[in-house]
Each structure stands twice: as structure tokens, then as C-alpha cells.
Amino acid sequence: MKVLTILGARPQFIKAAAVSRVIREEVTELIVHTGQHYDANMSDIFFEELNIPKPDYHLGIGSGNHGKQTGEMLAKIEEIILTETPDFVLVYGDTNSTLAGALAAAKLHVPIVHIEAGLRSFNKKMPEEVNRILTDHISTLLLCPTDTAIQNLTNEHISEGVYNVGDVMYDAVLYNKELAASSTTILERENLTAKDYLLITIHRAENTDDVDRMKSILDAFSQIPDKKVWPIHPRTKHKLEDYGFKLDQIPNLYVIEPVGYLDMLSLETNAKKIVTDSGGVQKEAYFAEVPCVTVRDQTEWVETLIEDANILTGTDTDKIVAAVNKKVTPSYTPVFGDGKTSEKVLALLKEYLA
Ligand code: UD1
Ligand code: UDP
């Protein structure tokens, strides 16, 4: 069995590390890195740290407007599919790399496996929502992380090839958490005390590309006296420079470069609270049982909202401050599978071909 895996963005490297390790025991996997993320701390670090096999193809597409970026990926992935004639094309999540890989495969009638299928925010202004809806509607195996995802697909009349396999990010956390726990270097390096700081990540286009939303978020950070550590995504860094916002005027805010996955797990686990707009970080906060505040208007990870484990605030300054200050004591129930998602993916690939 030959599987062509398409990757390009940071969360996809982390998901693929978990799945590749398992499927490679029985499958020939070829990896295509689109080059959507290319800085060493957005790409190489994950391949090295998580032992992801070196990509067989590196497309070097880089940044650009959606049409150009996705279109260039599509043309190049098509050539690779024609050369390699895989049994499946495997895509993860909801990025432009996901859509390009799925579209190239669909046109050539190659079965598509979509990991993290069925998620919906119901906001089509988000590029991720468009990418995931289109990908789901042309996928052959739709591997969902939750029952909510299955229900979303049912609502769109998609039922064939749909399975709840659990969340592959949970596999990744379980596999790496001991290693992350044994390394407290990041806390020492950044002079952080466990449970005495907030961890911040903001990068979604719906926030970064809107000057008013960013101002509102930064105003909230100015009103929160706690120590705040923020590994900043390059998109956010560039946008804040364009807007002329000065982060060094925000009290007790420590902006650092993006960190590797193990350092990130360590920062998450030891944080007092997490403030984010990331999809993956919302879930990791839940896995680590660290309360989360999500500065978005919708979340596709609705399970995390139970008992204020994750509070959805949008970008209203007062709501963010109130949510950060709120004392919450949720009881965390396992809703993202059993950490054996990758094994289920392999079994379903084999079953489909048989
Ligand atoms: C992409 C995904 C988003 C995902 C995120 C994960 C799409 C539409 N969006 O958003 O769903 O949550 O990845 O992190 O696919 N940049 C660099 N160096 C890099 C990568 C990006 O400087 O290595 C900067 C560039 O200025 C670029 C901007 O970040 O224009 C945005 O990068 P892009 O890959 O287009 O989207 P993300 O915001 O990273
Ligand atoms: N992450 C990381 N270093 C960072 C920020 C995030 O390793 O500096 C990891 C995080 O632990 C999670 C994933 O990247 O596993 C989430 O990716 P991101 O927030 O970029 O995208 P999203 O999940 O929103 O698509």
C-alpha cells in the first residue's frame, strides 16, 4: 500500500509525527512538504524533534495570497500523484495545503483520507472553514475526532466512509508528554514559575488581519497584570509591525520566538491559564487540564467548552479580562478518544483496500 501524505503547516507536522510512526510499520508512505511554513522554528524543528521522516518531495511554495499559494501547490502535487500513483492521498486538518492535496487527488480519482474531518465553526469567512468543507466533500475516508464532527457531516448528508477515530493530537500528547515533562529548560530559560504565568498564542487570520480585533485583544493583555508569555507566530509579528502596535508597552508581557513542540507542551502544562485562538492549543489545554480562554467568536472544538474548561470570549476586551480572572474548576472528561487514533487510521486504510 502506498500513501502520499501532504503536509505544510506547523500543526500538520505534529499530527503526522503520530500517524507516520504507526502507519509506516505496514505502509509505504511518501511525504510531500508544500513549504507553506518554512522558517526553521515553524518547520525543521518539528521534523528533528519528533523524528518525522524527511519529506520525499519539498515543493518550496512559501507564503502568498490564497489563490496563488493553493494553486501552485495543486499543480505540483498533481505531478507527484501522476508519477507516484499512490493508493491514497492523506491530508490533515484545514490549511491551504490540505485543500490543495485533496483537490489534486480528487481530480485524479485517488481516494482521499482526511484526518480531522467534520469540524465546523460555521463561519465561512475563516479560510480554514472553506478548506475543511471542500475537503470533506471530496474525501473517501473521513476520519473524525469527535461525535460532533460526525454529526456535522450527517447534517451535510455525508455518511459514507465516516468514522470516529478520536483525535490524533491526543496520540501526540500521550507519546511526548513524559519527554516534555522531563525538560523544564524552557521555564528556566524564560524565568517562569509553574502555575504563575499565562500562556498566549494568537495567529488566526480572523484576528490578526483585523486591526480593531487585535487592538481589543492587546488592550485586554494590558489590563491583565499577570506574567504573560507569548511565543509569537510570524503572521502576527508581521501584522503587529504593520499596525505599528508596540508590545513592549504591555506590562509583564514576554514575547518569544515560536517554540518547538516539547517546549510548547511544557509551557502549556505549567501555565496558570492559556489564552489562544489556535485550534490545536485549545485541545492541548483541555488534555493538560489547564483552563483556556479562546479569543474567537466560534470554536469547532465545542467539547472543550464544558464547565468553562474553555471560555469563548470573542475579542471583546472586558470579556477576555473577565474570563482570565474567572476561577473555574471543570471536571475534565475524556472526549477526544483513547490515544490510539493512529492505529485506527492504519486499520481503516487496510480495510478499505481489502
Ligand atoms: C496557516 C493556516 C492556519 C493554521 C496555521 C498554523 C491556512 C489558510 N491557514 O496559517 O489554518 O492555523 O497555518 O500555524 O492555511 N510566515 C513566516 N514564516 C513561515 C510561515 C509563515 O514568516 O514559516 C508568515 C508570512 O508572513 C505569511 C504568514 O506568516 O504570509 C501567514 O502564513 P500562512 O501559511 O499563509 O498562514 P498561517 O497564518 O500560518
Ligand atoms: N505549537 C508549537 N510551538 C508554538 C506554538 C504552537 O509547537 O510556538 C504547537 C501547539 O502545541 C499545537 C500546534 O502547534 O500542537 C498548533 O498549531 P497552530 O496553533 O499553529 O495552528 P492551529 O492548531 O490553530 O491550526
Q: Angle CA(122)–CA(73)–CA(89) in degrees, nearest 5?
A: 75
Start-to-end C-alpha separation, the chain: 11
- For cell 489547564, name the residue: 290
For residues 151 and 189, membership in a common domain is answered with no
Residue 332: all three cell numbers together: 475534565
C-beta of 203 in contact with ligand 1 (< 6 A):
yes
Kindly report the protein residue whose alpha carbon is nearest to atom 13 of ligand 2: 11
- Cα of 24 from ligand 2 centre, angstroms: 24
- Cα of 220 from ligand 2 centre, angstroms: 22
pLDDT mean values, one per 10 residues, the chain (354 residues) = 98 98 97 98 97 97 98 98 98 98 98 98 97 98 98 98 98 93 85 97 98 98 98 98 96 97 96 98 98 98 98 98 98 96 98 95
Q: Is residue 284 one of the residues assigned to a domain?
A: yes
Kindly report the protein residue whose alpha carbon is nearest to atom 4 of ligand 1: 95
List the domain range (segments joined by +) for residue 237.
176-325
- Cα of 351 from ligand 2 centre, angstroms: 32
For residues 233 and 153, membership in a common domain is answered with no
What are the strands of the beta sheet with 28-33, ordered from one edge?
Answer: 57-58, 28-33, 2-7, 88-92, 112-115, 141-144, 162-164
Q: Is residue 330 one of the residues assigned to a domain?
A: no
Residue 352: all three cell numbers together: 478499505
For residues 155 and 71, membership in a common domain is answered with yes
| DSSP run (H or E) holding 31 | strand 28-33
Cα dihedral across residues 312, 316, 319, 320: positive or negative: positive
**Atom from ligand 1 closest to the CA of residue 42:** 23
Residue 60: all three cell numbers together: 518550496
**Atom from ligand 2 closest to the CA of residue 280:** 23
Domain harbouring 24, CATH code: 3.40.50.2000
Q: Tell me the catalytic residues.
A: 203
In this structure, what is the dihedral angle of CA atoms 340, 342, 343, 345, given to the nearest 10 degrees?
130
For residues 301 and 348, membership in a common domain is answered with no
What does DSSP assign to residue 88? E
For residues 300 and 347, membership in a common domain is answered with no
For residues 283 and 152, membership in a common domain is answered with no
For residues 24 and 148, membership in a common domain is answered with yes
Q: Where are the alpha helices (DSSP H) in the chain?
A: 10-23, 44-49, 66-84, 96-107, 127-138, 147-155, 168-182, 185-189, 205-208, 211-223, 234-243, 261-270, 279-287, 317-325, 341-353
287 closest CA partner among 206, 203, 190, 180: 180
Q: According to the model, what pLDDT value does residue 326 have?
A: 98
Cβ atoms of 326 and 145 closer than 8 Å: no
Q: According to the model, what pLDDT value does residue 119 have?
A: 98
- Cα of 108 from ligand 2 centre, angstroms: 32
Residue 172: all three cell numbers together: 501526540
C-beta of 85 in contact with ligand 1 (< 6 A):
no
Total domains in the fold of the chain: 2
Round to whole Å and give the CA distance between 207 and 315. Answer: 8
For residues 162 and 181, membership in a common domain is answered with no
Q: According to the model, what pLDDT value does residue 184 have?
A: 65
Kindly report the protein residue whose alpha carbon is nearest to atom 38 of ligand 1: 235
For residues 310 and 349, membership in a common domain is answered with no
- Cα of 160 from ligand 1 centre, angstroms: 32
Looking at all shown ligands, the one closest to residue 274's CA atom is 2
Cβ atoms of 8 and 36 closer than 8 Å: yes
What are the strands of the beta sheet with 197-201, ordered from one edge?
Answer: 253-256, 227-231, 197-201, 273-276, 292-294, 310-312
Round to whole Å and give the CA distance between 285 and 279. Answer: 10
For residues 200 and 138, membership in a common domain is answered with no
Q: Is residue 289 one of the residues assigned to a domain?
A: yes
For residues 250 and 108, membership in a common domain is answered with no
129 closest CA partner among 118, 137, 117, 121: 121
C-beta of 278 in contact with ligand 2 (< 6 A):
yes
For residues 152 and 192, membership in a common domain is answered with no
C-beta of 145 in contact with ligand 2 (< 6 A):
no
Kindly report the protein residue whose alpha carbon is nearest to atom 25 of ligand 1: 235
**Atom from ligand 2 closest to the CA of residue 9:** 20
114 closest CA partner among 12, 183, 44, 216: 12
Q: Which residues contact 304 (CB under 8 A, 6 or more apart)?
A: 282, 283, 285, 286, 292, 310
